[in-house]
Amino acid sequence: GIVHRDVKPANVVINRARGVAQLCDFGIAKDLESTLASLTASGMGLGTMAYMPPEQVGEAKHVEPSADVYSLGATLYHFLAGRPPFSPTNMKALWEIVDQPPPPLDAFRAEVPAEVSALVHATLAKDPDERPPIWSLVEQLAALRARWPG
C-alpha cells in the first residue's frame, strides 16, 4: 500500500462532472512495501502541519495508513468548518496537534449532521489505533452521502 503523507485541501481535486473527489500530488508518498531508499530520514517531519497527524509531527519515516485517515479527517473538517482543526504556527500549536482535541465542528457550522461530525472527529483521534480503518471510513462516508446527497 501507499501512504500519501500530505492529504490536505490543496491536494484534493473535485470532479463535478463525475461527482467525485480525487487525491493528487503524491510527491512525498511512501510505498509501504518498497525496499528502496526512502526520502525520509528518522526524526524528519513531512507534510503540511495543519493536516499532519500527531505521530507524523517530527517523525514521518514510520507512518502508517492511519496517518492518511487523520489527514483526510482534518481536510473534511476544513471543508465543513471553513478552517482546519488546528492552525499550527508555533511550538504551542504543534502541542495542540499532539495533545488537544479539535474544537467541535458545530462550533463553526451548527447544521453539520451529528453523524458526520462524529465520523470526522473519529478520524482525528490522537491514537492511530482508534481511527477508523480507511475501508470503513469509505463505507461510512458513502452511507452518509446517500442520506445527505446535498
| Cell output for 80 | 465543513
Report the alpha-carbon angle 126-129-133, nearest 5: 110
- What letter would DSSP give residue 37? P
Helices 114-123, 65-81: inter-axial angle, 10-degree rounding: 140
Q: Position 103: which residue type?
A: P
Known catalytic residue at 6: yes
Annotated catalytic residue, options 6, 25, 68, 127:
6
Dist. CA 54–CA 101, nearest whole Å: 11
Q: 57 in helix, strand or coil?
A: coil
Give the separation between CA 118 and CA 113, rounded to whole angstroms. Answer: 9
Catalytic residue ranges: 6
